[in-house]
């Protein structure tokens, strides 16, 4: 098929690799300077930035598993970027080391004095202690890396001999990956985020983080493909209906995010229990109140209404812009989730530096993972149908 042949041309993504690395290294160097000069503020900033990028990576693994299980045409063109992002989990595991080393500057439960003061916290010590936390953290990353690469290895085997048996095994791993990602991301969000406020708890927290990760991954991949739609080699493949599918799924994720985020708030607000409400009281006052309002308007209503409009979903330029709004708000949402635990709103140089530092280094490895293969998975079974699906002419 001629359109498939043309995917062998260069997409020009590789030219972003070195600039990404340079920005990443500079950002990281500034962050390390922060670790030395004001360790607490820099650790807090680093955790926030790290969690933002991790959502894209972990979310990609989840959406990838979903795609291999369901096999919908919506996602066949997303498989390569999703897979590449999921495989960068190795670098995310390495980038997690500063958080693990500096845990005592981040998590109040690392302070044993603090834990012994309160009866409910004493009972939580069996779970919230540094050793067990480290073991769990290591387990999450081992599981995620294992899954991302297992699916990769099976894919490469499948491309060689196109054996349906290999395809079935890959789908088996993907199917098992769905409960895996739900459980690991739930516990990860409890360990790494919810435990910042050790007395507070919410059963909605895990699912909200899971959906946030899926949304971040989806927005990133949509943005990525929307940029590629202008590249000559890809412009005859990526068509309006592809972007409409991605826009519709992004809309579903935006709505699910709002649903879980609001449910969490409503139950806490209505229950009005002393242990639960401080979480939201801290987020209603001052600058955090403004951030909360921004989340409601820009993380939900704006993308929601924009993604209802077909003309916006069908055009790469506009859907790419919506994806950027979603990604920016996902960063703000991550900040909103973790940073109020450390007090009033304060955005420091370390926040910006670590955001660029982790992001630049991650982007370098993401592009590295994409290299040496076509962006369109030309060996997959339904890929030609998926390409044709988007090319249907749209009237009116």
Partner 1 sequence: MPIGKPLEGTYGVIAEFADPQELLNAANAAREAGYKELDAYSPFPIHGLAEAIGFHRSRLSAVVLGGGIIGGFSGFFMCWYANVIWYPLNIGGKPFNSWPAWIPITFECTILFAAFAAVFGMLALNGLPMPYHPVFNVPRFDQASRDKFFLVIQARDPKFDIDDVWKFLESLGPREVNDVPW
Contact residues for partner 1 (CB under 8 A)? 262, 265-266, 269-270, 272, 308, 310, 392-396
> Minimum distance between the CB of residue 304 and partner 1, rounded to whole angstroms?
12
Beta carbon nearer to partner 1, 16 or 262: 262
Phi, psi of 203, rounded to the nearest 5 degrees: -75, -10
Contacts of 272 (CB under 8 A, 6+ apart): none
**Minimum distance from residue 266 beta carbon to partner 1 (Å):** 5
CB of 259 to partner 1, least distance (A): 8
| Closest to partner 1 by CB, 240 or 357 | 240
Least distance to partner 1, CB of residue 204, Å: 14
Instruction: Provide the sign of the torsion angle of the four alpha carbons 14, 19, 23, 26, taken in this order.
Output: positive
Token pair belonging to 164: 């349906």
CB of 121 to partner 1, least distance (A): 27
- Name which of 149 and 262 has its Cβ closer to partner 1: 262
Closest CB to partner 1 among 132 and 269? Answer: 269
Q: What is the 3-state secondary structure (H, E, C) of the chain?
A: CHHHHHHHCCCCHHHHHHHHHHHHHHHHHHHHHHHHHCHHHHHHHHHHHHHHHHHHHHHHHHHHHHHHHHCCHHHHCCHHHHHHHHHCHHHHHHHCHHHHHCHHHCCHHHCHHHHHHCHHHHHHCCCCCHHHHHHHHHHHHHHHHHHHHHHHHHHHHHHHHCCHHHHHHHHHHHHHHHHHHHHHHHHHHHHHCHHHCCCCCCCCHHHHHHHHHHHHHHHHHHHHHHHHCCCHHHHCCCCHHHHHHHHHHHHHHHHHHHHHHHHHHHHHHHHCCCCCCHHHHCCCCHHHHHHHHHHHHHHHHHHHHHHHCHHHHHCHHHHHHHHHHHHHHHHHHHHHHHHHHHCCCCCCHHHHHHHHHHHHHHHHHHHHHHCCCCCCCCCCCCHHHHHHHHCCCCCC
Q: 297 Cβ partners below 8 Å, 6+ apart? A: none
Minimum distance from residue 379 beta carbon to partner 1 (Å): 24
Min. distance of Cβ 287 from partner 1 in angstroms? 22
Q: How far is the CB of 248 from partner 1 (least distance, A)?
A: 13
* Closest approach of partner 1 to the CB of residue 3, in Å: 17
Q: Smallest gap, in angstroms, from Cβ of residue 271 to partner 1?
A: 9
Q: Which is nearer to partner 1, 372 or 396 (CB)?
A: 396
Task: Give the C-alpha separation, 168 to 385, whole Å.
Answer: 20
User: Which residue number, 165 or 269, has a Cβ lying nearer to partner 1?
Assistant: 269
């Amino acid at each position: 098929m001629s359109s498939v042949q043309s995917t062998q041309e260069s997409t020009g993504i590789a030219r972003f690799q070195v600039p990404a690395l340079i920005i990443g290294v500079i950002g990281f160097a500034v962050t390390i300077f922060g670790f030395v000069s004001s360790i607490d503020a820099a650790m807090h900033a680093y955790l926030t930035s790290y969690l933002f990028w991790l959502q894209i990576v972990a979310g990609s693994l989840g959406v990838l598993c979903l795609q291999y299980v369901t096999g919908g045409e919506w996602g066949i063109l997303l498989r390569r970027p999703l897979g590449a992002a999921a495989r960068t989990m190795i670098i995310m595991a390495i980038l997690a080391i500063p958080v693990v080393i500096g845990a005592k500057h981040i998590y109040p439960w690392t302070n044993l004095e603090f834990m012994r003061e309160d009866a409910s916290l004493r009972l939580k010590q069996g779970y919230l202690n540094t050793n067990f936390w480290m073991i769990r953290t290591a387990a999450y990353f081992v599981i995620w890396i294992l899954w991302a690469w297992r699916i990769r290895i099976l894919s490469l085997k499948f491309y060689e001999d196109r054996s349906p048996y290999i395809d079935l095994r890959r789908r088996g791993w993907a199917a098992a990956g769905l409960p895996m990602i739900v459980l690991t991301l739930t516990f990860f969000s409890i360990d790494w985020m919810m435990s910042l406020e050790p007395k507070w708890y919410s059963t909605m927290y895990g699912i909200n983080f899971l959906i946030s990760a899926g949304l971040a991954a989806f927005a990133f991949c949509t943005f990525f493909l929307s940029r590629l739609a202008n590249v000559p080699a890809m412009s005859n493949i990526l068509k309006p209906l592809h972007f409409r599918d991605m826009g519709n799924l992004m809309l579903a994720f935006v709505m699910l995010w709002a649903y879980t985020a609001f449910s969490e708030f409503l139950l806490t607000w209505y229950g009005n229990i002393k242990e639960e409400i401080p979480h939201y009281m801290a987020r209603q006052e001052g600058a955090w109140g403004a951030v909360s309002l921004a989340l409601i308007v820009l993380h939900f209503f704006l993308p929601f209404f924009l993604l209802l409009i077909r003309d916006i979903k069908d055009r790469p330029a506009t859907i790419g812009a919506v994806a950027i709004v979603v990604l920016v708000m996902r960063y703000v949402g991550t900040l909103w989730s973790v940073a109020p635990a450390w007090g009033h709103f304060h955005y420091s140089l370390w926040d910006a530096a670590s955001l660029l530092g982790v992001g630049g280094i991650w982007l370098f490895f993401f592009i590295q993972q994409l290299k040496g293969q076509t962006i369109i998975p030309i060996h997959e079974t339904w890929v030609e149908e998926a390409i044709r699906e988007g090319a249907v002419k749209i009237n009116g």
